Structures are given as C-alpha cells and as structure tokens.
A and B are shown apart, each in its own frame.
Chain A
Amino acid sequence: MNTALLYSLVGIGLFSLGLYALIVHAHLLRKILAINVMGSGVFLLLIALAKRTATPLPDAVPHAMVITGIVVTVAATALALTLMVRVAMENHRAELSDQSQE
C-alpha cells in the first residue's frame, strides 16, 4: 500500500467519524469540533492525492488551496463559537431545541 492511498483512506475515515458525530451529538461545541475533524479529513485527502506525481515534488495547487482552507476554517470556527456562546446565553444551554416554534 503506498503512502498516498494510506493517508487518503485516513482522510475518508476522519470525514466519516466527523459526520457521524455531527449528526449524533446535540451539543453545539461538539458539532463544531465534528465539522473541524471533517474538514481535516478533506484536507488530508486533497494533499494525499496531490502526492501522486512522478517527480519528488508534489502538486502545489492543492497545497495552496488547503492553506487557504485552514485559514477560512479558523475564521468560520470563530464565528460559529461566538454564535454558540450567544445561543447558550439565550437558551441557558449550548443546544438547539428540537421543537419548532409553531
């Protein structure tokens, strides 16, 4: 098994674990962590697939996209965390209610 395939499979595993936790857990902080793990999985897959070049140097375009992605992820996480704190202030718990308002 080569390195690119191994890390691609790990990336898929991380994505699936994150998706499971995102669906199952109600607490918003855990959902934010789950989305971050899913993102890490996608990044790992992208970079692992970029390694399949004939030369020793990997393809630089996915690398640049992942760096952009990491910075966007931290910005989105900061916004999500602020929203979570606001929800916790309003509802006295960091969860979204299941019942619709009507």
Chain B
Amino acid sequence: MEKVTLLIMLFDLLLGLGLLWLAWQLLESRNLFKAVVLFVAFGLLMALAWVRLDAPDVALAEAAIGAGLTGALLMAALAKLPSRDKSEPLADEKGHWLLRLALLLVAAGLGYVVHSLPESAPGLSAEIANNLASSGVNNPVTAVLLNFRGYDTLLELMVLMLALLGVWSLGIERSTREEPVGPVLTTLVQFLTPLLILVAAYLLWAGADAPGGAFQAGAVLAAAMVLLLLAGWPLQGLLTGVALRLMLVAGPATFVALAGLTLLDAQLLAYPPQHAGKLILLLEVAATLSIAVTLAALFLGYRPRTNKEPG
C-alpha cells in the first residue's frame, strides 16, 4: 500500500513538472507550428491531470475540445498566416528582469494563499448529494450543468452564438484553392465518421448516469464534421441558409423556451421533479446539435453562402 501511494505521488509530481515544461516549451519555441503541436500534447496531459483529480467529465471535455478542436482551429489559423510570420524571432529578453521578479512575487503570493486555505472544504457537495434524487439524473456534474445551475449553460450557449456571429461578421472567405485529398484520409474519414456519431450518441445518453453529456457529445460530433470538412466533403454547401440557422439556434431556443415556461410556473429553470429527466434529455439533445454545428462553423471560419446569394 505504501509503495503504491509513493508511486502515485511520483506520478503526480512528474505530471505536474511535465505540464509546466510543456507550457514553457510551447510558449517559448521559435517555430509556431511546433508551438501548436506542443499545445495539443499539453491538452492531452491536462486531460490526464483531470483524471487524477477525479474529474472524468472535465477530462472528456478537455480531450475533445481543449486538445482536439482547439488544435484544429490553431492549425487552420496558422495555415492562413503569411509564411514569413510562422517562425518569428523571439523578443529581446534582457530587459524583462523586473517583470520576471514581479510575476515571481505574484506566483509566490498565490501559492501562499492556496497553501493557507483550509485542508478540507466540502463546498456544495452535501447540497448536491441531498438534491440529486430530484434532479432527474444521477451524474452530479450533469445535474449541476443542466438543472441546479442551468442558467450557466443557457448563457454559455449564447456565448457560443456570439462568437460565431463575431467570426461571421469579420467576413473572411477561405481561398477557393482546394488541395487534393489523399485516399488514406478519405478512407479513414469513412470509417471514423459513423464511429464518432456513435460515440457522441453514447456520451449524450450516458451523461445522465456516468461521465459524459451534451458538451462532450457536441464536441465529438463537431470533430466528425471537422474531419468531413478536411476530407473535402462539401458540408458548407449542403448545410446553409435556414437549415443551418435552425440547427444553430436549436439549443439556445429550447433553453429559452423552457426558461420562459418555468419562469411562468415557478422559478427560472426549476423543473418539476417528475419530468426533470425527460426535460434534461430534451435540452441535451438540442444543445448537443447546436454545440456541434456551432463549433464546426467556427472551424470553417466564414458564413457558408447559399447558391442564390451572389458570391
């Protein structure tokens, strides 16, 4: 038993040092492509840290979104930069000793504050455990996200929508030059897409009782769409106009409608316990669809035009 605890502590220490080292490498590497690849590796190590901290829901979200989608977004943006911008000379670092000293003091102060916090702080875990039975689901994280603090998720869907509106209003069109796609990618996408859809459906369904839920499922579904886009499938041509907009607003609209109804009835997003399970499932299905389409549209980076619109 002693030996196992020691090994786990050693693992934690190595993981912590590895995270700090990777962060330093990715922030200070001369080559930006290398920095982006290191960032993806950093995200995967973060997912491992979440598992060590008993946060499997966060680990799933980090692996799918933090490492996967953010990596794809960074790569796509890097490809659009002028080529001489991609390996920039690092800034002259001689004059930064005062800044380093100040930041060291900030870090030491924060460390002292964290060290002086009480050893045990239950937070709201007792309240969650007491009310879990009436929430409609068995996974406490899903209960917090969609029932106890449903307004967080409502506002988050709005933030996603705002980000997409911002991206669309910048009006950057991708160059029409299409790179030929190799047979390996095409075959891989044909195998992976059904599998990813299946995984997304499983995560969505399992979220009620086990790690998973709308965010993770939406991210996996978005990853499938990004793969299809990369493999040259004309998703942006198929999904335009009203159909696209309906899918984008499905999640927020369902949420707002339910918020209005519950506000008339009792309190904002306070569901009747006997229907809570079904309502949460409905919300999660709509949110998954909207999150997936919004993230894929963010990856695309411009507003897909319908055929009727002038280019």
A residues near B (Cβ < 8 Å) are 1-10, 12-21, 23-27, 29-30, 32-34, 36-37, 40, 43-45, 47-68, 70-79, 81-86, 88-89, 92-94
B177 within 8 A of A: no
When distances are taken between beta carbons in the complex, the residues of chain B under 8 Å from A33 are 26-27, 35-36, 39, 74
Interfacial chain B residues near A13, Cβ < 8 Å? 20, 23, 107
A residues less than 8 Å from B106 (CB atoms): 16, 19
Q: Specify which of B32, B36, B66 is in contact with A40 (CB 8 Å cutoff).
A: B66
Whether B61 sits at the interface, judged by CB under 8 Å, is yes
Contact B20 A14 (CB under 8 A): yes
B42 contacts A85, C-beta separation under 8 Å: no
Picked from A5, A21, A70, the residue with its CB within 8 Å of the CB of B114 is A5
Pair A67/B215 contact, Cβ less than 8 Å: yes
Residues of the B chain whose Cβ atoms lie less than 8 Å from the Cβ of A72: 156, 159-160
Residues of A within 8 A of B66 (CB): 40, 70, 73-74
Identify the closest chain B residue to A58 (Cβ).
B54
Given known A-B contacts A14-B23, A21-B28, A82 and B166 have beta carbons under 8 A apart: yes
Complex contact A79–B122 (CB within 8 A) = no
A53 in contact with B122 (CB, 8 Å): yes
A44 pairs with B49, CB closer than 8 A:
yes
Whether A85 contacts B172 by the Cβ 8 Å rule is yes
Say yes or no: A30-B73 contact (C-beta < 8 A), given A6-B16, A57-B125, A61-B149: no
For residue A89, which residues in chain B have a CB less than 8 angstroms away from its CB?
172
- Does B291 belong to the interface (CB within 8 Å)? yes
Distance (Å) between the CB of B252 and the closest chain A CB? 13
A27 contacts B100, C-beta separation under 8 Å = no
Q: Is B143 an interface residue (CB 8 A)?
A: yes
Within 8 Å CB of A20, what residues of B? 27, 99-100, 103
Of A15, A17, A18, A66, the contact of B58 (CB 8 Å cutoff) = A66
Q: A74-B295, A78-B73 known; A66 and B55 CB under 8 Å?
A: yes
Chain A positions within 8 Å of B58 at CB level: 43, 47, 63, 66-67, 70
Give the complex CA separation of A78 and B82 in angstroms.
18
B234 interfacial by beta-carbon distance below 8 Å: no
Are A65 and B163 closer than 8 Å at their CB atoms? Answer: no
Interchain CB contact under 8 A, B122 and A61 = no
- Which residues on B sit within 8 Å (CB–CB) of A77? 70, 73-74
Scan residues 8-52 of chain B and give those whose CB is less than 8 A from a CB of chain A: 9, 12-13, 16, 19-20, 23-24, 26-28, 32, 35-36, 39, 42, 46, 49-50, 52
B84-92, B197-205, B255-263, B270-278 - the one binding chain A: B84-92
Q: How far, in Å, is A3 (CB) from chain B's closest CB? A: 6
Using CB atoms, name the residue of chain A closest to B46: A40
Q: With A and B bound together, what is the CA distance between A3 and B50 in angstroms?
A: 12
